[in-house]
Amino acid sequence: MAEPSTEPKPKSGVLGRGTYSESLRVGEILRKETVGGILLVITAAAAIIWANSPASDSYFALRDFTFGYEPWHLELSLGAWAADGLLAIFFFLVGLELKREFVAGDLRNPAKAIVPVAAAVGGVAVPALVYVGINIFSPDTLRGWAIPTATDIAFAVAVLAIVGSHLPSALRIFLLTLAVVDDLIAISIIAIFYSDDIQVTPLLLALIPLALYTILAQKYRQFFHLKPAAAWFILLPIGFVVWALVHAGGIHATVAGVLLGFAVPVLHRKAVAGPDAGPGLAELFEHRIRPLSAGFAVPVFAFFSAGVTVGGWSGFVSAVTDPVALGIILGLVLGKPIGIVGTTWLLTKLTKVNLDPALRWVDLIGVALLAGIGFTVSLLIADLSFTPDGTTNDHAKVGILMASILAALIASVILRARNKHYRTIEAEERVDADGDGIPDVYQEPGNHADETVTAPDPDDAVPGAGAQGPR
């Protein structure tokens, strides 16, 4: 019997390859989010230009135009409808993604989940501490401590898709998982710390349509799978009632979107499960609704939320030197990567996990900087923290925009260099695919630059030709 090995077991990889299906899914999301990120940039830029143009009054008049049914507490401005209503669609997708990760994704495996979860917690705690440290002597601005804690998944993965086409899939999976957990923390923060004047009765009533929604989605998952229109005519009205009651209950209505996302089943019933069952209902809903979210809901929210009057160069300098903006900029650009990379480093020192051999710490730093793009949810928390039409809120939004731009630019510089490095490695691997040190495809010397031939294989040597006889 062989003696048991005394060699120390290698540490498991922090950023391993992940499952093949997970890699394919991440690639699909990256392609879609690229378009959404571009639309966000366009709408945010349009809002800033309009808000600082001679026609700025018309922008704010449009944003503050109110309509809705007051008895249901739904007489809201267009800006509020975008923040409370349209953004609930985005958070519905977040709920779907969270449930899929915990039920069928890499987060169901504690060994794989511990690192991105811990990194996300560090990426929330450190920016909050940075903001509090800068605003510690200003009780009025401390309420914005959560603004630099959020990561904008649409912007982050859009930048990664543009600059990192050859980066290892492990980095992409890590960023997506990190952002998903970050969203969960942000939702919890909004529900706990930014809910005012809680009304118990509407919240209890919301449980009734939520339960009905859950039962229908679970019991008739195959029906909604085969009949796309049924979800719009049956589940959507019930979901709207849940949203309205949660909104009337004093909890930010985007939380209702997450709860509805959690109610959608991820897996098929055992009776229909099998290789030909197709995607689960959660994945199907995500596929159907993501274009609505990325192409309309989030860009419209960005349009009404990003419009701030800067007031020229002096106004810009005044904004970025405000402790609120400084706390946000330093929190997102420095606090995020320090929290994410620092937490991961501590885990490698205190546990049996380590970086995947194919990766370097600089790769993780680049991705951690991308997490400092805190646009959508940060703008939402800014509106919840300060008076929407106040100077402090304007300075906070200038800080968010500046921090997101800086984080994207610095991350792009690092990740472009790393992408070039990995592209070179891939090219070398293609040339020597069999690993024997002899290029499998090469150019014959002489005047045959356009003629590609196959290199001779030592194993194919002719018998009797020197030392390369048959073996």
pLDDT at residue number 348? 86
Q: What is the pLDDT of residue 70?
A: 80
pLDDT of residue 175: 83
pLDDT of residue 268: 66
Q: Is the pLDDT of residue 328 over 50?
A: yes
- Does pLDDT of 333 surpass 90? yes
Question: What is the model's pLDDT at position 21?
Answer: 63
pLDDT of residue 437: 53
**pLDDT for the residue numbered 240:** 94
Chain segment 144-190, per-residue pLDDT in tens: 999 999 888 777 877 887 777 777 777 877 887 888 788 888 888 98
Mean pLDDT of the chain: 80
pLDDT value of position 449: 43
pLDDT for 326 equals 95
Q: What is the pLDDT of residue 468?
A: 39
pLDDT for the residue 129: 96
Is the pLDDT higher at 443 or at 387? Answer: 387
Burial class (CB in 10 A: 0-12, 13-18, 19+), 48: buried
The string of pLDDT tens digits covering residues 96-111 is 888 888 887 767 777 7
| pLDDT for 440 | 53
Q: How much is the pTM?
A: 0.77
Whole-number Å distance between alpha carbons of 447 and 97: 57
Percent of the chain with pLDDT over 90: 27
Q: What is the band of 431 on the pLDDT scale with cuts at 50, 70, 90? A: low
Q: What is the pLDDT of residues 202-222, one digit of tens each?
A: 999 999 999 999 999 999 888
Closest-CA residue to 221 (of 169, 285, 274, 173): 285
What confidence score (pLDDT) does residue 427 get?
Answer: 77
What is the tens place of the pLDDT at every residue in 11-67?
555 555 555 565 555 555 545 566 777 888 889 889 989 988 998 889 989 988 998
Question: What is the C-alpha separation between 420 and 356, in angstroms, rounded?
Answer: 19
pLDDT greater than 70 at residue 331: yes
Q: Inform me whether the pLDDT recorded for 315 exceeds 80.
A: yes
pLDDT category at 133 given cuts 50, 70, 90 is: very high
Q: pLDDT digit string (tens) for 263-311? A: 999 876 655 555 555 578 888 888 888 888 888 888 898 898 888 888 7
> Residue 23: its pLDDT value, please?
57
Question: Which pLDDT belongs to residue 44?
Answer: 87
